[in-house]
Amino acid sequence: MSRAHRLTRRHALLAAAGCLGGPLGLGGTARAAGSGPRIVAVGGAITETVYALGAAGTLVGVDTTSLYPEAARALPSVGYARALSAEGVLSLAPTAVIASDEAGPPAVLRQLEAARVPVHVLPAEHRIEGLAQRTRAVATLLGRAEAGQALAAQWQREAEAARAEAQRLAGGRPAPRVLFVLAHAMNAVRVAGRDTAADAMLTLAGARNALAPTAGYVPLNAEAALAAAPDVLLVTDQGLQAAGGIDGLLRAPGLAATPAGRARRVLSLDALWLLGFGPRLPSAIRTLAQGLHGTGAAT
């Protein structure tokens, strides 16, 4: 990691802690009077936060995961967050890039900083507190710290209330065992273990990750699926569509023979909503909990 990249990571951490006094990084060099920031946002949750802060006018480009709100889809795209090109980003003449820590590859981030475009990498932090920290960091970088403080506090309260509601919906019953299936390409299906956004969401919604002993996302195999014995299969709307619906999903190795597969207990939610840990986290927790503890699972 270059020294410049280490510095912008430090700036992001300081912003998250509320230690930055102004909009750092909205231009590596002095800007002409009257000119404004030109931000490229990389990461759907980052983009959502910029819109929520009322700063959509600063955006000149986003990545392909930035699908909400609808207006973001009309902005120039810099490609997939993990496969950026320096040329594509620089063609938009940004004064800064604000990105999640999934942005890459690292060589491209170094190229951007070598071109005097500050890159502020914010940790994903799949926690309620992480949402609040990222909100404050983005707001500080945009010169809207006061609005960021207010929104962070509001979303944190709402997310905590949604988590409490999930516990009430569980009603003291054993937590359902849930297997999250990432099926955007049926020839490369993966499942989520611990230390993933899916695992964090299941915990917040009062469920157990059926693959918790395993870390990260791993390829699905029939033996692991059967050993996990999930009560519910959780997928994204996009993954379910790519699979061709529930019947297609259950053709993935081992899934049809699990308790969830035999009962066709499948729940799907929008990928960014479910896994983004962005401004809509409270509603995502609530909807996931209702689906797992109530009547939301598709059959």
The model's confidence at residue 15, banded by pLDDT at 50, 70 and 90, is very low
Residue-range domain boundaries for the chain: 3-152, 171-293
Residue type, 182: L
In this structure, of 29-38, 79-88, 162-171, 198-207, the range with the lowest mean pLDDT score is 29-38
- Closest Cα to residue 94, out of 125, 63, 119, 127? 119
DSSP state of 215: B
Q: What is the mean pLDDT of residues 21-28?
A: 46
Contact present, 1 and 106 (Cβ < 8 Å): yes
How many Cα atoms within 13 Å fall on the side-chain side of residue 283?
7
Closest CA to 42 of 276, 239, 283: 276
User: What letter would DSSP give residue 194?
Assistant: B
| Residue 250 three-state SS | coil
Is the pLDDT at 61 greater than 80? The verdict is yes
Give me the mean pLDDT over the 4-31 stretch: 43
Instruction: State how far the Cα of 79 lies from the Cα of 60, in Å rounded to an integer.
Output: 13
Share of the chain above pLDDT 70, in %: 87
Arithmetic mean of pLDDT, 55-77: 97
Report the pLDDT value the prediction gives residue 23, as an integer from 0 to 100.
57
CATH number of the structural domain 3-152: 3.40.50.1980
Q: What local confidence, expressed as pLDDT, does residue 172 receive?
A: 83
Domains 3-152 and 171-293 are alike in CATH topology:
yes
Residue 85 has pLDDT above 50, yes or no: yes
Closest C-alpha to 95, from 142, 144, 45, 48: 142
DSSP state of 298: B
- Note the pLDDT of residue 171: 87
Mean pLDDT of the chain: 89
Angstrom distances, CA of residue 3 to CA of 6, 76, 279, 291: 5, 30, 32, 46
The pLDDT assigned to 5 comes to 44
Residue type, 203: T
Identify the CATH assignment for 171-293 out of 3.40.50.1980, 1.10.1760.20, 3.30.479.30, 3.40.50.720: 3.40.50.1980
